[in-house]
Amino acid sequence: MIIDVHGHYTTAPAALGLWRDRQIAALKDGTPMPRASELRISDDELRESIETNQLRRMRERGSDLTIFSPRASFMAHHIGDFEVSSTWAALCNELCFRVSQLFPEHFIGAAMLPQSPGVDPISCLTELERCVRDYGFVGINLNPDPSGGHWTSPPLTDRHWYPLYETMVEHAIPAMIHVSTSCNACFHTTGAHYLNADTTAFMQCLTGDLFKDFPTLRFLIPHGGGAVPYHWGRFRGLAQELKKPLLDEHLLNNIFFDTCVYHQPGIDLLTEVIPVKNVLFASEMIGAVRGVDPTTGHYYDDTRRYIEAADLTDEERHQIFEGNARRVFGRLDAHLRRKGL
């Protein structure tokens, strides 16, 4: 089985974006917000948006199951207050749940949280628990910078985040550390902010001792870990100067990297430098980079090809494609076992 641990609902029917536009306009004008019930999307519309996009590509590329969360750039936690984020997150999560119900073999949900800058993350627990309990979601996306590029929240190692971690551990739910749209003109969203956040999150964990407090907490760092594997020597050296244990021991029981790296040399480096047990297959399809690479004739984000071509044994490839995902996403494994898989 090939499990893609990083897919977003980037192709939701236009009604979703129009509803959000109305919410933002109401916020701006001080007029009443649209109600959640005013968003109406039929099952047929959902089906079509998936069948002609993600599912078609999954079939073409031979991946079986995607951990599916709301569109990352649409989370935009910097817009409005907690109530605005809360209504918006609930709508987006519900759509991912409905997709997982329409295509139970191919999609399973991960939740967007109703984060809001300056608001205690404890406020996210209701939505998180609802998604786990009612929707069967197996993960969450945690935004380390709900301000959208101004980085006003404390580092991930701060006690600020601990209530969230306690709940994640209780439910065996890992977090993908994923920022959203940048509203800072310095940072292009997908070309700088995403990668910077990956690197930043890793270094926050390196300087701290978070996993001493939460030995079973698990973070997935997307986009191949930002700059981290390319600079693995730098990070090993910095850990050494900070008198931290070796990274294997200090971080690699808790931190994992996905394979959203869109060329062969990048995947070759990732799989050479990072232990195979810490690498999880993902493509972020349909996501930031949608075109065909003229140097290969294949989609940039067809990451399965790079894994197939990397210098790995069949057993290692199986770990990356399936085994590691089932180990890191414990509820996913339980779900598959219940289905006899």
Q: Which residue type is seen at 40? A: R
Give the residue, chosen from 29, 30, 185, 339, that forms a contact with a second copy under the rule CB under 8 A. Answer: 185
- Calpha distance 31→262 (Å, rounded): 44
User: In angstroms, what is the minimal distance from the CB of 250 to a second copy?
Assistant: 13
Residue 136 makes CB contacts below 8 A (sequence gap 6+) with 97, 100, 108, 109, 331, 335
Residue 221 makes CB contacts below 8 A (sequence gap 6+) with 176, 177, 198, 201, 202, 228, 255, 256, 257, 258
Q: Mutual orientation of helices 232-241 and 194-207 as an angle, nearest 10°? A: 30
Torsion angle of the four alpha carbons 100, 172, 228, 3, in this order, in degrees rounded to the nearest 10: -30
Q: Where are the beta strands (DSSP E) in 62-131?
A: 65-70, 107-112
Q: Of 1, 2, 5, which is closest to residue 280 (Cα–Cα)? A: 5
- Cβ proximity to a second copy: between 116 and 303 the closer is 303
Query: Could you tell me which stretch among 68-76, 117-125, 259-267, 316-324 binds a second copy (CB under 8 A)?
Result: 259-267
Q: Which entry of 284, 308, 315, 316 is annotated as an active-site residue?
A: 284
Q: Is 297 in the site for a second copy (CB under 8 A)?
A: no
Q: Is 121 in the site for a second copy (CB under 8 A)?
A: no
- Calpha distance 143→149 (Å, rounded): 11
Give the residue, chosen from 45, 64, 166, 268, that forms a contact with a second copy under the rule CB under 8 A. Answer: 268
Size of the site for a second copy (CB under 8 A): 58
- Cβ proximity to a second copy: between 30 and 265 the closer is 265
Task: Tell which positions 197-256 bind a second copy, by CB under 8 A.
Answer: 199-200, 203-204, 206-207, 223-224, 226-227, 229-238, 240-241
User: In angstroms, what is the minimal distance from the CB of 259 to a second copy?
Assistant: 12
Q: How many residues does the chain have?
A: 341
Beta-bridge partner residues of 257 = 221, 279
Q: Is 288 in the site for a second copy (CB under 8 A)?
A: yes
Task: Tell which positions 53-72 bind a second copy, by CB under 8 A.
Answer: none
- Cβ proximity to a second copy: between 130 and 231 the closer is 231
Q: Is 190 in the site for a second copy (CB under 8 A)?
A: yes
Q: Is 284 a catalytic residue?
A: yes
- Cβ proximity to a second copy: between 159 and 338 the closer is 159
Query: Could you tell me which stretch among 42-50, 77-85, 107-115, 291-299 binds a second copy (CB under 8 A)?
Result: 291-299
Q: Of 119, 75, 210, which is closest to residue 156 (Cα–Cα)? A: 210
Q: Of 97, 70, 116, 85, which is closest to residue 23 (Cα–Cα)? A: 85
User: In angstroms, what is the minimal distance from the CB of 263 to a second copy?
Assistant: 3
Catalytic annotation, residues: 284
Residues at the site binding a second copy, with contacts judged by CB under 8 A: 144-145, 149-151, 153-155, 184-188, 190-192, 195-196, 199-200, 203-204, 206-207, 223-224, 226-227, 229-238, 240-241, 261-263, 265-266, 268-269, 272-273, 288-291, 293-295, 300-301
